[in-house]
């Protein structure tokens, strides 16, 4: 019988499938469609210190084999996440959840993580230093090893739970940034966030989305994501969560062979809300096809 279990910083997941932040809300929305307790866990909507309305509309555009978004971290702020969103989630999800946190200063990151640290439901932090859709924060921290390390140290100083730093692919050398985070105390690395892209409306000759540029995601970015996961997983000693264009059980196996301990599914959820359920259901047959008995044994299996 196929064994899908993996361990992520001391917490056992029933399977490695994690819906990515920004594509799964706070979970209870998808619980109306299927039992989300079948997931390994999920990363909830990116949370900031203060409420954010997000960027002007239009802020989502379709493109070949993917999409561009510039939502801009719309969220109700950490206080409402704690008082309203997490209690709603507790009624339908009975596992540890991953808290995705973003900020506009090192102090913002530390404050938000410290506030969430006391929440029993949270098993891990995913600290987003890689959002390309906000100004004055987000990706600016993830394009420099020194800045990413500074955020890592600040968050680790105020939290008791494992901290994964989510990295941007919009850099020349992602390995140096991952290693800087590891040296600063990160418990794991998440990658990749979206690539920076844009589209132009031929009729108006203006950008399709109001923010001009946004995060490009979807199956088209999978080879880039796989390459970066491979590079980072072979350069650090802490676990890696792989993501970027994952849309099938076969993609999950590839990510794990590249070195990912767990795998996030993002844009595919927006195309098919049952994507994660279907991938989990497909994994045993795909494992059998490739003579895999335990997923944990293939992590980093591509040398």
Q: How confident is the model at residue 134 (pLDDT cuts 50, 70, 90)?
A: very low
Q: Which of 9, 92, 113, 131 is catalytic?
A: 131
Whole-number mean pLDDT of the chain? Answer: 94
Residue 282: other Cβ atoms inside 10 A: 14
Distance CA(32)–CA(107), nearest Å, equals 36
Per-residue pLDDT of 175-193, as tens digits, reads: 999 999 999 999 999 999 9
Using the predicted structure, report yes or no on whether residue 41 has a pLDDT greater than 90: yes
Q: What is the dihedral of CA 159, 143, 268, 77, to 10 degrees?
A: 40
DSSP category for residue 85: I
- What is the DSSP annotation of 96-162? -EEEEE--SSHHHHHHHHHHHHT-TTEEEEEEE---TTSSSSGGGGTS-HHHHHHHHHHHHTT-SS-
Is the pTM above the cut of 0.75? yes
- Percent of the chain scoring above 70 in pLDDT: 97
Condensed to tens digits (0 to 9), the pLDDT of residues 55-97 reads: 889 999 989 899 999 888 899 999 999 999 999 999 999 999 9
- For every residue of 226-242, DSSP letters joined together read HHHHHHHHTT-SS-EEE
* Domains delineated in the chain: 6-298 (3.20.20.70)
Residue 204, pLDDT score: 97
- What pLDDT is attached to residue 141? 75
Catalytic residue list contains 131? yes
Cα distances from 216 to residues 20, 63, 117, 195, 295, in angstroms, run: 14, 9, 31, 5, 29
pLDDT category at 140 given cuts 50, 70, 90 is low
- What pLDDT score was predicted for residue 112? 97
């Amino acid at each position: 019988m196929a064994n899908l279990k993996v361990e992520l910083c001391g917490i056992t997941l029933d399977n490695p499938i994690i819906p990515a932040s920004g594509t799964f809300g706070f979970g209870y929305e998808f619980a109306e469609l299927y039992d989300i307790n079948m997931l390994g866990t999920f990363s909830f909507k990116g949370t900031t210190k203060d409420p954010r309305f997000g960027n002007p509309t239009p802020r989502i555009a379709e493109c070949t084999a993917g999409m561009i978004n510039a939502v801009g971290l719309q969220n109700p702020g950490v206080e409402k996440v704690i008082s309203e969103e997490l209690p709603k989630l507790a009624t339908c999800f009975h596992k540890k959840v991953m808290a995705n946190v973003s900020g506009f200063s090192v102090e913002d990151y530390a404050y938000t993580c410290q506030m969430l640290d006391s929440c029993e439901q949270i098993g891990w932090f995913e600290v987003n230093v890689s959002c390309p859709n906000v100004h004055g924060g987000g990706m600016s921290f993830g394009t420099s090893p020194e800045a990413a390390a500074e955020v890592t140290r600040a968050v680790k100083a105020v939290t008791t739970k494992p901290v994964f730093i989510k990295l941007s692919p919009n850099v020349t050398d992602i390995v140096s940034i991952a290693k800087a985070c590891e040296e600063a105390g990160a418990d794991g690395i998440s990658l990749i966030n979206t690539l920076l892209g844009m589209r132009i409306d031929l009729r108006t000759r203006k950008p399709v989305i109001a923010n001009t540029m946004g995060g490009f995601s979807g199956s088209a970015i999978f080879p880039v994501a796989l390459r970066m996961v491979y590079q980072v997983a072979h350069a650090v000693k802490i676990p890696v969560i792989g993501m970027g264009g994952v849309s099938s059980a076969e993609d999950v196996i590839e990510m794990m062979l590249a070195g990912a301990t767990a795998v996030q599914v993002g844009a595919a959820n927006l195309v098919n809300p049952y994507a994660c359920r279907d991938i989990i259901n497909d994994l045993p047959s795909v494992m059998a096809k490739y003579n895999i008995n335990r997923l944990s044994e293939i992590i980093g299996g591509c040398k």
